[in-house]
Amino acid sequence: MKKFLLPAIYSTIAILVLSCGPSLKVSNDFDKSVDFKKYKTFALYRADTINPAISELNRGRVIEAIKSEMKKKGFEETTSNPDVLVNAVAIFQDKTSVTANTNYYGYGGVYRPYYWGGVGSSYSYTSYDVNHYKEGSLIIDVIDASTKQLIWQGIGQGEVDGPLKDPDTRIPKGIASIMAGFPPGTGKK
């Protein structure tokens, strides 16, 4: 059996996930052969194994937001024999973006026919702006508990760029955005 863990690789999981602004890109996919109406109960898969790199407060916020979304969708939480298991994984990568800006001086020709260096001569220089940042994804998997097969996956991806303001509001909004397409056919498109 494949182990599904709730690890976090970076202590600011909530920053990404959950900055629920225009920079949070959300996507989901699901197994089209599955009848999602048959599922009524859920459990978090190994919630006790969340990586301690995340603050205990933010771990709790993520877990509670996932539970809340599942309950809003009509699922009942149970510890014995759930229909589906819900798993969350955070992945963070260092990224770099480079932007080139070229500035031209000396128009020459008609505009400055007697410009230093002769008719039509000009010079330019290029400056480069390098931006280092972290990009992160929160992946929420829903697994059929009896077959251990992945049946739905939602991903929230964005730039992690600073401390999260108001995590008690923004984390649940980010989780709600990621889980909007679960179960399939009921979310906003």
SS3 assignment, position 187: coil
Instruction: State the total domains in the chain.
Output: 1
Tell me the pLDDT tens digit for each residue of 20-56. 444 778 999 999 999 999 999 999 987 655 544 556 7
Q: Which amino acid is at 98?
A: V
- Which residues form the domain of 169? 13-94+133-181
Predicted local confidence at residue 103, as pLDDT = 64
Identify the CA nearest to 70 among candidates 178, 150, 148. Answer: 178
Residue 99 lies in a domain: no
> Alpha-carbon distance 47 to 40, whole Å?
20
SS3 assignment, position 87: strand
Predicted local confidence at residue 24, as pLDDT = 79
Residue 127 lies in a domain: no
Residue 106 lies in a domain: no
pTM: 0.67
Tell me the pLDDT tens digit for each residue of 166-181. 888 888 998 999 999 9
Angle, helices 167-178 vs 56-72, to 10°: value is 50
Residue 126 token pair: 């290029």
- CATH number of the domain bearing residue 71: 3.30.160.670
Q: Which residue has the tokens 């996930």?
A: 17
